Structures are given as structure tokens and as C-alpha cells.
A and B are shown apart, each in its own frame.
Chain A
């Protein structure tokens, strides 16, 4: 080993705490990079493989009742490579040991052979056989939630009759990777399930022999989807076609897309923060180390070491720091990635989901991190190699300070000399001061970003469940009913209040922009499901016109007073122009409201109800559940209370995990920045501090000088961190926004306070570690040496 390498190892051993502090910051960058990109790839590739092997459809459509004879016409549309005509019906499930009814979707599969599109992955058991009545295959999450195995049985209310179903197999479908029930905001595996039944059996139950009401197509690569969808709409139009759509309107697919977008955003925001901070820290300690070793460098040059050899010596030190960071970060990234994959396993139903361990990812992370560290060290190294040896061997020119005010300060007796010392030192190195404050502010910002979700979700729960959808349950009918159904529901046991609604699937169009959505018909003065204006005050729907949510207004570029085209999907695609009368607030879906009588007029078939919202006496819930399970007309039920709890649970679990991770990251940044900054200051000022001790200043007073400096930088970091955190949080909210839901942007003051508190506590702890060194200053030795 060369002598310079021995020096390198001794330097590292001496600076181990600082090296570790920087390596940890760098490790955060490496870990988040591996986590985000690894998770992105694992999700993306698993989904692509699942879609491909199990032939996930590319075009979807529905109809009221269309003849199977259309199959050859559909298959001959140019670009179509596979057609599956299905019966898909909502059903109520009466699960053993569960008072509340669950909701299911029954999907037909061919009697013989595998489906051409949306094939099933068989986890266990076998697929149901056509001859045997009541045999089904259920999706895995639902089966697991109810501990079902092949052979298990449960009851379902299908087309008004209770039937006992027997599970023959547990399956997964590319169509239901993310499966969400009606009225739910997050998946609830107990209350929502999908099951598959041979076509003949299911069609028999729902009187759909020779007909279908749902269609899934697979298309050739490069096929023109728009043309295929147009052709499909023309074919299905006479049979109550609901309009074809591609994968972007398929909930499971879109939800996964959103997750992928977020992972990509995470990969492009978080790791650069850490790499930037670690580059700055490397620069800071290397600059100081080289300043202390200036004379040694001069000597090395004088005895014949070249500039390149010296530069390489310090570059190696930087690389060792980077290597430690990369090693820790790779391990942590791998561990976090596995955890993330497990979490995905809970949300998404894949037959397989592996955290991708590709070497290139680690290589990219390593090269990027080492590059950032070297970039940070370049200036410091250049500074030393460019000095001629004779000058390097002399002590550097003394630092020049300036009075902060031109008159000097001795007329201003406000500040003690100790404070003035601290202030002048801060101002003397403004870039370092600002970068230290900026580095610390990133920790504050990360915390704000992690914590604000509590505020937003609390606000969202309050708005959605207590101000808007105040009903306890929503009953959806299998087919639209006359208004008399409202009285029937109102008379059910435990029902305190009942409010009917109508939902009409439409395409809303403005210019060339369009969206598939549902217009909800609302009562004149809705009490259970209310409509809120932009200031969250309840408003009554006007006698004419649409009330559209903010998101719909933005997507379609609509303003109050504009005319929008409504294409009725279930009424032979009749098109009507309707004015926009108000823009309202809504966080779920693409909400569009209309007064019920206006909607009835628009559809043109008189008053009809799609379902009823009810508030229920909680002590009589059991009775109501029993009654509902006996009511043939009810096809699905959404239980708001349970949905709310489930939403809270899931989101809180996610936020808690996220907050823990981000808090750890923020703590590491703060520690890395403040500890290193304190060590550097201490190293630069040991002599001054010892002088103060000799002059009779106590340890506390002397520490005060350093603490004032650090305190000023940490204080400066707070407002900056709040601002950055606010902006980051805003971008997170924008990133989450989708047609499924959006999160209100709410940051409470307490969130800023908690973020600051965490950072300040860590900063104080880091500073106190360095303070111990002040307590052990060797006064005599420091004063005897010349700097």
C-alpha cells in the first residue's frame, strides 16, 4: 500500500463520523432511486406480462341486451384480434358471518375453452363446469378475506332469487388487478368480490340466453382504436350500447397508471434532493480538510508528487464516501423495495409480483451518486492542485472580515461581541451559509410533504362523508324503477330517511373534448347526498342546466353559461345541448349533477330511479341488512360508514408508512447537514473558541457562538422549507389528481410547526454532539500552535 493510501485510511478513520453522516445522506438518494425505479419497473413489467399472457382487453363496451349473432360482425372489424361477449351483472352477496351484504360482480366465461380475452389465472382448484349449477370461480382477494377454498359455499341474490354458489377455483383476472366496489374509495376485499360462472348458467339466471351485455376486445398492435370504437358503437347502438372505451377508462388499469406516474415523480424529485445535499456536504468537508492539509500538500509537491497524484488522492477519499453511501443505500433500497412490493401485493392482485433486482439499476445509482460526490469535490481539489508548492507551504492569507454596518458596531450596543462574531462568520461565507440553510430546508420540506396528507385526507373525509354523502347506505337497483320504489325503501326497517336518485351514463362533450361520465339526478333540496359549491356550502340544483365539478370544467374547458353536448349512452346515443349552470366542488370521480326532474326530461322516459340513498337507525342495521338481502330489486349496496372506515384505515396505514420513511429521510438530511456544518465550524474556530475560554468565557457561553450560527441557519431554513414543502405538497396533490378522485390541497399550520419541530430537535441534538468537543478543548495546546 502506498504511503498516500495509508494517509487516506487514517484520514477516513479520523473523520469517520462525518464520512458516515455524508454517506447516510447519499444512501437516502441511492435507496429512494432504487426504490422508486425498482418499484416502477416491477409494477410496469409485471402488469405488462400479466396483460400479455392473460390477454387483457384493449377495448371495452356494454349494451342493455345485444344478440350473440353480432359476434362475427364485431370480429370482422379491422384490427380486432379477439372478441369476448359476456354477461356481467351486479349481485348482492350474503356472506357467512357477515351481517352487512357484500357486493359482487358476476362475469360469464365460455362454457368450453378459455376466454379469448381477459383470461383467468387459476391459483387453485379448477374452473366451474357448465353442467353443474351454482359452480363459480372467485377472485383471490375476496376468497382470502373470507377464507374460502375450493368447496366453500355462500349465498348470492341473483336476479331477485337467492342461490347457493359453490367455489371450485380461486382465480386472478387482468381486469381486476385493482378491484373496487361501488361507493368505495379504496378496495375492501371483504365487501367486494368478482366471480366467474359459465355462460350458460349465468345467462340462464339473468334471462340473457343468446344475448350479451358486456364486451371485451383485443386488438392488433397498431390498430386504430378510435375507428374500432366507432364501428363498435354503430353495431351496438340499436341494443342500448353504452359506448366503447379503451383502457384509459378502465378503473383497474387507470389506477395502476396513476401509481406508475407517482413512482416516476418520486424517482425524479427525491433522489436528486439527496444527491445535491451530499455533493454540498462532500464539498464542505473536503474544502476544510484540504485547507488544514494545505502545507502538507505543498510539501508533497515540493518532494515531487504531481498534481494528478494529489488530486487522485483526494478523489479517492470522495469515492470511499460514495462507496459507503452506495452500499448502505443499495441495501436499504432493496429492503424498502421488497416492503413496497409487499404493500402492492395487498392492493393489487397479481399472480406474481417480484421486486426487480436488475444490476443496471444499482449501476445507475452508483454512477450517479459517485458522480454527484465527485462534482462536489471538484472545486476543493482544483483549489489545492492549482497552488504552486511554495505558496501552498505558507499559511493561507488571513480571512478578511467586514463590518456589517459602515460605522462599525461599537455605537450599536444591542448585540454582544459573541453574536457579532457569529454574524460576521455567517456573512463571510454567504454561499455556504445559504446552502446549509437550503439543505436543512429540504428536510423541513420533505416533512411538510409527508405530513400534509393527514390534513388533506382529514379534510377530504370530512367533506366527502360528512358534508356531501351523508347517507349511511346507497342501494342501487338492477334496472331503473318507478318512483314508487322510494316508498318501498322508506318503509324498510330502520330507514329514517330515504332519497331517490337517478344516474344516467353519458358522454359529455365541449368542442373536441369529451369525457364518459354519469349525470346524477338530485332532489330539489337534497339532504343526504348534498352538492357543495366552491366554498363548500350546500347548494340546491337549479331547475335547468348542469352542475359540473371543477375537474370536469377544467378537462372540458367549460364555464358557467357554456353549452355542453350530452350524449345519452342508454338512449340510442341521443344528443342534447345543455347549459352549464354552476361549477361545484367534488373530490370523487367526474361529478356532474342535474335536478332529477330536469334529468328525467332530458332522458325522456318519465320519472325513474336508479337507486335510493338512506339514513339508518344504527340499532336496526341488522334488520335492514336482512330485509335488503331479501329484496330482489337491489343489485348493489354501498355502505358509507364502512367505506369511510375502510378508507381511513387504508389511507392512514399508507400515510403512516410514508410519514415514517420521510421522517427518517428528513432526520438523516438534518443530521448530515447540521452535524457536518457544526464540525466544520468547530474545526475552523477551535482556536477562537479556546481563546474565549482562556479569557474567562464559560463552556456554555463559548458553545453559544457556534449555536447562534447554527441556529441562524436552521431558523433561515424554516420559512424556506415551509415554502418548498408547500410547493412540493401542491405538486403531489396535482400528481394524485385523476378521474377517479382528487385530494383537496390543505396544509394546516400545525403541519408546518411539526415539521419545524422535528428538524429543530434533530439540529439541536446534532449540535450538542459537537458541543461535547468544545467542552473538551485542550486550551493550552490550541493556544501554543499557530494556525
Chain B
């Protein structure tokens, strides 16, 4: 981890209209993420962590405030620029994997490498998550943990600078969850990819450099881990 911020978020707010009422999902968030950092975002449902991640990943627009990625202000990007930003810089991992069911593991990864500038080979990405042997299988033929690792391989294959993971272990049991966390840590260490991981599982906080706790659309607490744990040490 360096002390160069890759993301700078300033005064970020996000309001949704939900029927008659307006919901403030983010009420002024200021935060920096540094290159190579692994950040864990904790907090109850509706506290604003997913909204922040979606805006940082270019999936959603802010109501006010700015998000800068290196020297570029994402909040002023058009839809098309955001698409290119996602294509070139960001890897996503979601709770429900979101693999394409009609493509094999290898093809799901190749889907991304085909449109990237400097990708790794799909089989290399699958090897990093320990799935080289399963690459000819379709998602329906893989377990939940394996599917999530294919999703991670797909996210890293383009060598993204950031990975945004929304509940990556939310649908998994502890044994498979640990395998997935190991894959994420390995990528963070070997490829120096910046990571932001949302979780409901407080035990996962121990693997992070920093832990942000959200409450009511704000960051209530930011804690630096003096000593990080290895995934197998995480209490589930």
C-alpha cells in the first residue's frame, strides 16, 4: 500500500426518490483510498456502503460532491465515459456472482479479456483463483464458491487498478468463504490491486488495512488495523 490516493471522495451525497419520500443514502462522505490498499466497509443495511461503492465504480450518479479517480473527476463523466472507466479500470465482484450461464468458466473470463487493453490469459486468471482444472465447466456445473472464484478471476483478468466487492462471501459457507477471501488477498498482494470489500461479516475486518464503519449515510468510524489476519484466521 502506498500513500498515493487512487480514489478521493469529497462531500458525497446521494438522494433517491422512493415513491413519495426522498431517501438520503449518503449524507456527505469524505474518504481517500490508497493504491494497493485493502479496505473493508461495514455497517447495517441501508447505511450507504453499497451506494458509495456503486458511485465509485461508475454504476450510479452522485447527487452532490465529487469522486476523483487519480486526477479525473468521475462525477462529471458521461454514461459512455463511465462505461469505458469500468471497462479499463474496475473489477467487480457481487454477492450473486453474476456469471453468464451460457458461457463456460473460461469463456466468462475471456468475455472480459476480449475487450481489455492488457489482460492476462483467462487460464492464468483462473489459476490464480485455483480453478484451472474447472475452466471448461458451465456455471450451473460449479459450486457457489467456485462460481464466485470464477467471478473474481473475471474481475482480475483485465488487471484492474481497483476491485470493488459487494458481499463477495455473502452467499457462501465459511469454508468456501475463506477460499474466496484467500483469492482476494493473494491478488491484493501479488498484483497490488486496490480493494474495497463490503461485508456484513464483522470477522472479515481483520484482513483489511483499514476498516470503515457506516451509519446513516456517513462514515461513523475509520480504523487502521495494526496487525492484519490471514483469511484462515478469520472467525466466521
Q: Which residues of A contact B (CB under 8 A)?
A: 398-401, 403, 408-410, 416-418, 420-421, 424-425, 428, 687-688, 690-699, 701, 779-780, 783-786
Contact = CB atoms under 8 A, between A and B. Distances in A.
Interface string B58-92: 01100000000000000000011001111110101
Given A400-B138, A425-B102, A694 B96 contact: no
Nearest to A399: B101
Nearest to B86: A696
A428 B86 contact: no
A408 B106 CA distance: 10
Contact of B80 (A408, A416, A698, A784): A698
A691 B87 contact: no
B174 to A, nearest CB: 21
14 contacts: A400-B140, A401-B101, A403-B104, A410-B107, A410-B122, A417-B111, A418-B111, A420-B102, A424-B102, A696-B85, A696-B112, A697-B83, A780-B59, A784-B50
A521 B79 CA distance: 82
Given A403-B104, A688-B101, A695 B111 contact: yes
A697 B60 CA distance: 16
B194 to A, nearest CB: 17
Contacts of B115: 696-697, 701
Contacts of B80: 698
Nearest to A701: B115
Contact of B114 (A401, A417, A693, A785): A417
A421 B98 contact: no
Contacts of B57: 694
A420 B106 CA distance: 13
A410 B110 contact: yes
B110 A687 contact: no
A399 B139 CA distance: 10
A784 B198 CA distance: 13
B103 A420 contact: yes
A418 B110 CA distance: 10
Given A420-B107, A780-B54, A783-B96, A401 B102 contact: yes
B87 A695 contact: yes
A618 to B, nearest CB: 67
Contacts of A780: 50, 54, 59-60
Q: How large is the interface on B (under 10, 10 to 19, 20 to 34, 35 or more residues)?
A: 35 or more
Nearest to A410: B106
A399 B140 contact: yes
Nearest to B100: A688
Nearest to B136: A408
B94 interface: yes
A86 to B, nearest CB: 80
A401 B138 contact: yes
Contacts of A696: 83-88, 90, 112, 115
Given A398-B140, A408-B104, A693 B83 contact: yes
Top 10 closest A-B pairs, CB basis?
A696-B87, A398-B140, A424-B102, A696-B86, A417-B111, A691-B98, A401-B102, A408-B136, A421-B102, A779-B59
Contacts of A400: 138, 140
Contact of B59 (A403, A425, A694): A694
A107 B222 CA distance: 112
Given A403-B104, A687-B98, A780-B59, A694 B86 contact: yes
A692 B106 CA distance: 16
Given A398-B139, A783-B96, A417 B88 contact: no
A133 B94 CA distance: 103
A416 B84 CA distance: 19
Nearest to B79: A699
Contact of B92 (A416, A694, A784): A694
A417 B83 contact: no
A114 to B, nearest CB: 81
Interface string B163-194: 00000000000000000000000000000000
A691 B101 contact: no
A695 B86 contact: yes
B129 to A, nearest CB: 17
Contacts of B112: 695-696
Contacts of A687: 98
Contacts of A699: 79, 83
Nearest to A422: B102
A401 B105 CA distance: 12
B125 to A, nearest CB: 13
Contacts of B101: 398-399, 401, 688
Given A398-B139, A428-B102, 14 more contacts: A398-B101, A401-B102, A403-B104, A403-B136, A417-B100, A417-B107, A420-B102, A421-B100, A424-B102, A691-B100, A694-B59, A694-B92, A695-B112, A697-B115
A353 to B, nearest CB: 59
Interface string B136-151: 1011100000000000
A201 to B, nearest CB: 88
Contacts of B107: 409-410, 417, 420
A202 B177 CA distance: 110
A408 to B, nearest CB: 5
Contacts of A408: 104, 106, 136
A397 B197 CA distance: 30
A611 B136 CA distance: 86
Contacts of B138: 400-401
A695 B86 CA distance: 6
B168 to A, nearest CB: 13
Nearest to B84: A696
A237 to B, nearest CB: 84
B54 A401 contact: no
Contacts of B85: 696
Contacts of B92: 694-695
Nearest to B108: A417
Contacts of B84: 696
A783 B108 CA distance: 16
B83 A698 contact: yes
Contacts of A786: 96
A119 B86 CA distance: 88
Nearest to A787: B96
B86 to A, nearest CB: 4
Contact of A401 (B88, B94, B140): B140
